């Protein structure tokens, strides 16, 4: 495209010398670009005289076409810069409660300070459904435990501790920690997380079968149920950071942790805005470690 811009600048300035100075080339380089364009089109576009430069009849004919090509290329480059600058973009994310209510909002807020016009679309679910959303393309990427997304590309981000929650008047409240053996004997409220469930895996490793009385898909509903004495549960420490429910949190013995990560099909094919946001999340977490 350089010869197109050189040609238009020569016509605009009426001089090879002035065009070269404005474009940052030597006069010889501009002459070579014009010659290359003339060879490409198979005709002479410009002739020089003592009075300056003039378009040939063919040059007059080609001028509007060259102008349109150059303008279209300029618009294309501007759109590319706009996309790189994320002037627009819609980021579709699969997520679950503990991430979307406690961790993700501050990340989105900080990202929008950099790219104010970017929009976010959140689709709630649990590990299995989020993996499904990613595979079917209804979200660009999702937050999951990477172990639940073995056939997707994943990036592990952080470890999240899980705690037992008990009614305030529960007998186990007096203990510094609670064991899985103790919890297995209590009415248990299970947070449904799809095919992979960290508390169930922990019980299984100990050869225990919890007394599951309720299966619930929402963390906050479980907190309310525990507050009302319906049972005990094990939830993410992160999801309980800003809640006002009345219950008691206890460390579990042995400790239960889960890995939080991001999953996607192919990062190279993701929309630019989503790729930028994934990289932003990784940088933010690296800075806080």
- Per-residue CA distances from 39 to 27, 52, 100, 156, 273 (Å): 18, 22, 60, 56, 42
Q: What is the CATH number of the domain that holds 209?
A: 3.40.190.10
How far is 134 from 131, CA to CA, in rounded Å? 5
pTM (two decimals): 0.69
Nearest partner of 10 among 28, 31, 40, 36, judged by Cα: 31
Number of domains in the chain: 3
Same domain, 148 and 15: no
Question: Is the previous residue joined to 135 through a cis bond, with omega within 30 degrees of 0?
Answer: no
State whether 169 and 233 are in the same domain. yes
pLDDT attached to residue 170: 96
CATH of the domain at 31: 1.10.10.10
Instruction: Please check whether residues 100 and 80 belong to one and the same domain.
Output: no
**Given a cut of 70, is residue 41 above it in pLDDT?**
yes
46 and 12 fall within a common domain: yes
Residue 202 neighbours by CB distance under 10 Å: 20
How do residues 220-254 score in pLDDT, each as one tens digit? Answer: 999 999 999 999 999 999 888 878 899 999 999 99
Distance CA(132)–CA(136), nearest Å, equals 6
pLDDT exceeds 70 at position 164:
yes
Residue 168 DSSP SS3: coil
Check whether 78 has a pLDDT greater than 70.
Answer: no
Residues 14 and 24 placed together within one structural domain of the fold: yes
| Residues 83-111: tens digit of each pLDDT | 665 666 789 999 998 898 888 999 999 99
| Domain boundary pick from 50, 84, 118 | 84
Same domain, 153 and 165: no
Whether residue 30 sits in one domain with residue 12? yes
Q: Is the pLDDT at 1 greater than 70, yes or no?
A: yes
Same domain, 264 and 153: yes
Q: Identify whether residues 244 and 185 lie together within a single domain.
A: yes
What does pLDDT average to over the chain?
90
Domain containing 209: what range? Answer: 160-258
Read off the pLDDT of each residue in 123-129 and give the average, rounded to a whole number.
92
19 & 78 share domain: yes
Average pLDDT for residues 255-275, to the nearest whole number?
91
Q: Let me know whether 173 and 107 are in one domain.
A: no
Domain limit, last residue, from 42, 59, 84:
84
pLDDT higher than 70, residue 192:
yes
| pLDDT tens profile 43-69 | 999 988 777 888 999 999 999 999 889
- Residue 16, pLDDT > 80, answer yes
Identify whether residues 172 and 237 lie together within a single domain: yes
Higher pLDDT, 147 or 285: 147
**166 with 248: CB under 8 angstroms?**
yes
For residue 129, give every residue at least 6 positions away whose Cβ sits within 8 Å of its Cβ, in sequence order, or none.
94, 194
The pLDDT value recorded for residue 195 is: 86
With a cut of 70, say whether residue 126 has pLDDT above it: yes
């Amino acid at each position: 495209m350089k010869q197109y811009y050189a040609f238009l600048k020569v016509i605009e300035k009426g001089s090879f010398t002035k065009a070269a100075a404005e474009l940052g080339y030597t006069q010889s380089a501009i002459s070579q670009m014009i010659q290359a364009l003339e060879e490409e089109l198979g005709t002479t576009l410009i002739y020089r005289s003592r009075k300056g430069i003039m378009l040939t009849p063919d040059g007059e004919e080609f001028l509007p076409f060259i102008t349109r090509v150059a303008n279209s290329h300029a618009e294309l480059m501007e759109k590319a810069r706009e996309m790189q600058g994320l002037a627009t973009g819609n980021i579709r994310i699969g997520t679950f409660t503990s991430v979307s209510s406690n961790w993700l909002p501050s990340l989105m807020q900080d990202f929008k300070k950099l790219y104010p016009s970017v929009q976010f679309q959140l689709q709630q679910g649990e590990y299995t459904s989020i993996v499904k959303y990613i595979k079917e393309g209804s979200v660009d990427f999702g937050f999951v435990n990477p172990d639940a997304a073995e056939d997707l590309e994943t990036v592990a981000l952080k470890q999240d501790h899980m705690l037992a929650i008990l009614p305030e008047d529960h007998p186990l409240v007096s203990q510094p920690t609670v064991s899985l053996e103790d919890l297995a004997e209590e009415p248990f409220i299970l947070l449904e997380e799809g095919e992979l469930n960290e508390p169930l895996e922990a019980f299984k490793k100990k050869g225990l079968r919890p007394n599951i009385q309720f299966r619930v898909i929402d963390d906050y509903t479980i907190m309310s149920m525990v507050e009302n004495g319906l049972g005990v549960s094990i939830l993410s420490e992160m999801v309980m950071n800003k809640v006002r429910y009345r219950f008691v949190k206890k460390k579990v013995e042995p400790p239960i942790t889960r890995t939080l990560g991001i999953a996607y099909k192919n990062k190279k094919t993701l929309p630019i805005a989503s790729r930028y946001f994934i990289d932003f999340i990784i940088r933010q977490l690296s800075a806080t470690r």
